[in-house]
Structure 1
């Protein structure tokens, strides 16, 4: 699909990644196109699911979840069904779940209130998905695109 994106499409995408609230007028100015031409391109990118949505980036600390960690999970029994993502989806502290290559099967990004809350979450992850966990606490995030 990326071969179908020209320089202007990429410029529009880069601007929207940087500022999801950028106006069509702003995008038109940066792309040196008319507002209607940019609107047409944005709609096409949305319909092709290149642009999958617009979201607010919220400060986890403001939500009372200052502790972030990566949690790698591995099934205890490799013969069991590989359904950990579905089993864990209801846990709101899990922000994202990624299938990975390597020793672990998945890596989760979690955000919690405290070390004690992380400990409880890890216990729940282990019990719910029948997995082993390995955690890495995030000290600082330099950028998150």
Structure 2
């Protein structure tokens, strides 16, 4: 379903990305809409799948202590492998998933609290029906981060 988004929708999405708990009154002031108009837009963005959920990032480890990894995933059936993506979406540490052209199917970015947690995620992904192979690489350091 193609959803028309205007500059206000994009501004709302950016503000919610920065702080998903921003009060509607504050968000409305930032985008120059009433609280109710902002609520209606957010509900529409959720209903149409533009906003698919909100997440919690647990404290206790600073961003410098977190572990980043990239999983390259081959699916057994590229054209009917949507269930793999749906299962990946349920893993909170999966922060990005791209469908690739070429030899590999998916590129998945994982930000976790520990190497052990990345291993748990790898084991979960490797055991998913529809996954035929995975390759995992750990990030040693981040030198450019525009996210």
TM-score interval, normalised by the smaller of the two chains: 0.5 to 0.7
Unaligned runs of 5+ in 1: none
Which structure is larger by alpha-carbon Rg, 1 or 2?
A: 1
SS for the counterpart of 1:140 is coil
Equivalent residue for 2:22? 22
Equivalent residue for 2:137? 136
Taking structure 1 as the reference length, the TM-score comes to: 0.62
User: How many equivalent residue pairs?
Assistant: 133
Deviation at 1:20, TM superposition (A): 0.6
- When residues 113 and 24 of structure 1 are mapped into structure 2, their CA distance, relative to the original with a 3 A threshold, is closer
Query: Is 1:51 aligned to 2:71, yes or no?
Result: no
- When residues 100 and 61 of structure 1 are mapped into structure 2, their CA distance, relative to the original with a 3 A threshold, is farther
SS for the counterpart of 1:56 is coil
In 1, Cα distance between equivalents of 2:73 and 2:34: 49
Taking structure 2 as the reference length, the TM-score comes to: 0.61
Unaligned runs of 5+ in 2: none
SS for the counterpart of 2:49 is coil
Retained in 1: the 8 A contact 2:46–2:52? Answer: yes
1:43-85 per-residue CA deviation (whole Å, 9 max, x = no partner) reads 22222222222211335847xx94332122447xxxx6566x7
Equivalent residue for 1:5? 5
Root-mean-square deviation (CA, aligned residues, Å) is 4.1
Retained in 1: the 8 A contact 2:61–2:113? Answer: no
Equivalent residue for 1:104? 104
In 1, Cα distance between equivalents of 2:52 and 2:92: 23
Query: Is 1:68 aligned to 2:68, yes or no?
Result: yes
In 1, Cα distance between equivalents of 2:34 and 2:99: 41
